[in-house]
A and B are shown apart, each in its own frame.
Chain A
Amino acid sequence: MLTAHAAAFQINGKTLVSDIDMAIPPGKLVALVGPNGAGKSTLLKLLSGEIKPTSGAITLDGRALSSFTALDLSRRRAVVPQSTALSFPFSVREVVLLGATVPGFAEPPEHIERMALDCLRTVGLLALEHRLFTNLSGGERQRVHIARALLQLAMAKRAENEPGILLLDEPTASLDLAHQGVVLEEALEQARKGLAVMAILHDLNLAAVFADELVLLSAGRITARGTPAEVLKDDVLSRAYGCEVRTNRTPSEGVPFILPHYIRAR
């Protein structure tokens, strides 16, 4: 399991995150929420192994993350970046295939090809297979990266007791309502299949609907953690975001939802 133990990260004397104790359990979708500048992306970089904590530790199955080689880590976890610009014209299908060919996973090519198309179908982009990545919209690019990450985890050989980990950096940022649902539905589905999934989400309502667990980050510290009902409370959110927040519940399902208070002032 991917776990943070009192992890902190400082740079140039500035503390970006501190006292982080959390775990991403297999089978669960954890949503990392919090205001801008709370340290969400820094925490994701710590958990992915991209940066090392300046104090505390990040461990995978009890072993320090920094003791894994990049290749070993790539068998265990995939990361979906917020957005990347490509300077060279890859087709959509080629970008997805990079998920298996860059780590060099030794699978039969036909198998990788088939799985790549499966992953594209999963994110609803099969029709764009031959389009150039550089010509896609922001939302489409994000979904291509998700397909690439899914292929990476699908093609990596892992033992039964080594579940894969999927980290997503604001996967719904440039998506419309329908595609936000498609992507998070898929993230949840992957969790149900056994992956440990963590997504940075800006939209608390989406987090309330899809996440098993919410981790609320504020000023670099975890200020609340638990089920959506436990975290999405007026006082907790008002303090974290520094503005008045009122939560409600949908009449039929009882799912918490939030409308910012300033709407009422109109």
Chain B
Amino acid sequence: MTSEAIPLSGSRAGKTHRMSAAQVIIGSAVLLAVAIVASLSLGPTGITLSSLPRALSAAISGTTDATIAREQLVLLDIRLPRTLLGIFVGASLAIAGAIMQGLFRNPLADPGLVGVSSGAALFAVATIVLGNGIAAPILAPLGIYALPVAAFFGGMVTTLILVTIAGRHGQLMIGTLLLAGIALGALSGALTGLLAYASDDRQLRDLTFWSMGSLGGANWPKILAVLPFGILIALLTPLLIRGLNGFLLGEAEAFHLGINVERTKRIAIVATAASVGAAVAMAGVIGFIGIVVPHIIRLLAGPDHRVVLPGSALFGAALLLFADIIARLIVRPAELPIGIVMAAIGTPVFLHLVMKRGIGGSE
């Protein structure tokens, strides 16, 4: 499609002071690269920048270098899976936020805020608590995929209920959406609490982790479990770019511009549920990233989804890695739940958004 190559932002001179799409994408990519290096080297066991390449190549090739055996082990078993999971979770949550905001035409729509994350968490918790009991016949055949698949359905069910409730009159009503989302989130939270009663000690510790979010449990099987979801999201997201751009003008206008509105909505719902479900299944509920990241990209480069979606993925991954680095360094040797760090970063940005735009989203 040649039209993809049209410059995305307004020119440098004029009323819209924006960076170009290339600047934002490259800037985010550089930031992510820095975050990856920092995430691999920082932690209770410091790995110096000079030994990082050596330890990395040794870890990947499987050879053993006696002088850096410890670094190699830390890198392979802890840092690499943790960093990869951070990239996946950050990118997924940011993309899910961007898609939801495009779908609902409101910058305040966020999977965490409208209960999609809570719905995914509820299903994930139910999988843990009931996985060995009554739900075993359904869940056992899924193996390592049981958790992300369950969370995916939790996110999907919540999103479908939201779209049904808020879209009754042909157009998605944002006030209804937010209220219904808060109600669904509260219900999911309550049911999650109910499950806590039915859980044993070890499960209870897991549940705390769900509500706060953490990358601490990252390991290679988890990376393997989210891989299909990563591929699905990467395949679906590009299909949404033109549709979400059309949605910015309105649903009827998107149709007039040749967009299959219902198909776009369905893809958006599946992509959101897959992103949120897999992210929540692996790292618990991490709020705000879905609001903050797309908001910053839009401020920098404008609302065109050709830059908002890939930019959010890169920037979201970088932001989550930095938040995780803070989470694991600030109270060494203990670890802070990453949800707390994200809330500290996200709350001011969110409040700024609310004050600037009001709940309706239009200025």
Interface residues of A (CB under 8 A from B): 45, 48-50, 69-75, 77-79, 81, 84-91, 93-95, 97-109, 112-113, 129-132, 134-135, 152
Contact = CB atoms under 8 A, between A and B. Distances in A.
Contact of A85 (B257, B258, B304, B362): B362
A106 B258 CA distance: 14
Given A87-B106, A112-B3, A95 B302 contact: no
Interface of B: 1-7, 10-11, 13-16, 105-107, 242, 245-246, 248-250, 252-261, 298, 302-304, 357, 360-363
A132 B252 contact: no
A134 B11 contact: no
Contact of B252 (A81, A86, A95, A108): A81
A106 B250 contact: no
- Residue of B105, B257, B259 with most partner-chain A CB within 10 A: B257
Given A86-B249, A98-B249, A106 B3 contact: yes
A134 B363 contact: yes
7 contacts: A70-B259, A79-B256, A84-B253, A91-B14, A101-B242, A105-B3, A131-B14
Given A81-B250, A88-B298, A104-B1, A74 B14 contact: no
- Residue of A86, A129, A131, A132 with most partner-chain B CB within 10 A: A86
- Residue of A75, A81, A90 with most partner-chain B CB within 10 A: A90
CB-CB nearest 9 A-B residue pairs: A130-B14, A74-B258, A88-B303, A103-B258, A87-B361, A71-B258, A102-B257, A79-B256, A102-B246
A78 B255 CA distance: 10
Given A87-B106, A88-B107, A90-B248, A107 B14 contact: no
Nearest to B362: A85
Given A107-B2, A109-B6, A130-B15, A86 B248 contact: yes
Given A71-B260, A81-B253, A91-B14, 10 more contacts: A70-B260, A70-B261, A81-B252, A87-B357, A90-B303, A95-B249, A98-B257, A131-B15, A132-B15, A134-B363
A129 B13 CA distance: 11
Nearest to A99: B257
Given A94-B10, A134-B363, A74 B248 contact: no
Contact of A69 (B2, B10, B13, B260): B260
B6 A113 contact: yes
Contact of B256 (A48, A97, A109, A113): A48
Contact of A98 (B16, B245, B261, B361): B245
B4 to A, nearest CB: 8
Contacts of B253: 79, 81, 84
B99 to A, nearest CB: 14
B15 A134 contact: no
Contacts of A93: 10
Given A109-B2, A130-B10, A87 B259 contact: no
B11 A130 contact: yes
Contact of A102 (B7, B106, B252, B254): B254
Given A106-B3, A112-B6, A89 B250 contact: no
A74 B257 contact: yes
A91 B242 contact: no
A198 B250 CA distance: 21
Contacts of B361: 87
A239 B107 CA distance: 48
Contacts of B245: 98, 101-102
A130 B256 contact: no
A94 B249 CA distance: 11
A89 B302 contact: yes
Contacts of A70: 255, 258-261
A130 B242 CA distance: 22
